[in-house]
């Protein structure tokens, strides 16, 4: 083994001029620090299982006012979107049944496969003008509101770490793995 290492090291040019012993191979650089738990606390990424969803809860009813105040300017009071200069918030609901047409409309309601993505994204990046400023209760309420306006849950349904991952989105089964490379394009 050490013989092998020497030969290999010589091949990659680490041979010392005495030729007796090659430089020993480094096992670890020793760079990097073990992160403290409090430094990790601010990070999150919520997969479809709901792992990592924080405590807290909200309903669509509670979310209506929060939406009107924080989101409607850019996404419209009917969640229809707003293409105005400087805003440009996407349409959030509608479009069900349009995906196989020539002009599909992709929204949270018609297209998104997982409800957990909505929690993750709103907590992460919205409102656009003050990302990351909402409490977890507010995020649960907004998610509940968007899902209830989309008629996926009822306005009184409570969304929390337990219930949210169980919400079945209309387009849950609408995705397939990448089917490329498209074999008909080979020669």
- Residue ranges that bind another protein, judged by CB under 8 A: 28-29, 31-35, 39-40, 43, 45-49, 81, 83-88, 99-106, 108, 111-114, 116-117, 120-121, 124-125, 128, 131-132, 174-182, 184-187
Half-sphere exposure of 99 (CA within 13 A, CB side): 16
Q: Which of 23, 24, 129, 156 binds ligand HEC (CB under 6 A)?
A: 129
44 counts as binding ligand HEC under rule CB under 6 A? no
Residues 140 and 57 sit within 8 Å (Cβ to Cβ)? yes
- The conformational region for residue 26 under phi > 0 = left, psi -120 to 50 = alpha, else beta, is beta
62 counts as binding ligand HEC under rule CB under 6 A? no
Query: Residue 9 or residue 117: which is nearer to ligand HEC going by CB?
Result: 117
128 counts as binding ligand HEC under rule CB under 6 A? yes
Residues 106 and 91 sit within 8 Å (Cβ to Cβ)? no
Distance between CA atoms of residues 112 and 95, nearest Å: 11
Query: How large is the greatest C-alpha to C-alpha distance in the chain, in angstroms?
Result: 80
Residues 119 and 139 sit within 8 Å (Cβ to Cβ)? yes
Query: Residue 21 or residue 135: which is nearer to ligand HEC going by CB?
Result: 135
46 counts as binding ligand HEC under rule CB under 6 A? no
**To the nearest whole angstrom, how small is the minimum distance from the Cβ of residue 13 to ligand HEC?**
47
Q: Which of 90, 94, 99, 163 binds ligand HEC (CB under 6 A)?
A: 90
Query: Residue 119 or residue 165: which is nearer to ligand HEC going by CB?
Result: 119
Q: Which stretch binds ligand HEC (CB under 6 A): 8-16, 21-29, 38-46, 114-122?
A: 114-122
98 counts as binding ligand HEC under rule CB under 6 A? no
- Please tell me whether residue 158 adopts helix, strand or coil conformation: strand
DSSP 7-26: HHHHHTT---TT-S-PPPPP
Distance between CA atoms of residues 41 and 49, nearest Å: 19
Binding site for ligand HEC (CB under 6 A): 70-71, 73-75, 87-90, 92, 108, 118, 121-122, 126-129, 142
């Amino acid at each position: 083994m050490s013989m092998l290492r020497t030969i290999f090291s010589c091949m990659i040019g680490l041979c010392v001029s005495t030729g007796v012993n090659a430089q020993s191979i480094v096992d670890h650089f020793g760079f990097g620090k073990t992160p403290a738990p409090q430094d990790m606390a601010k990070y999150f990424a919520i997969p479809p299982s709901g792992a990592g969803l924080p405590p807290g809860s909200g309903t669509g009813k509670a979310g209506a006012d929060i939406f009107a105040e924080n989101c409607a300017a850019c996404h419209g009071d009917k969640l229809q979107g707003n293409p105005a200069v400087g805003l440009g918030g996407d349409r959030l609901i509608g479009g069900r049944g349009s995906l196989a047409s020539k002009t599909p409309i992709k929204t949270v309601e018609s297209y998104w496969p997982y409800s957990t993505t909505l929690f993750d994204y709103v907590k992460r990046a919205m409102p656009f003008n003050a990302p990351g400023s909402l409490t977890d209760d507010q995020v649960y309420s907004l998610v509940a509101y968007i899902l209830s306006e989309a008629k996926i849950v009822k306005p009184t349904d409570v969304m929390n770490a337990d219930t949210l991952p169980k919400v079945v989105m209309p387009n849950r089964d609408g995705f397939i793995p990448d089917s490329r490379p498209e074999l008909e394009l080979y020669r």
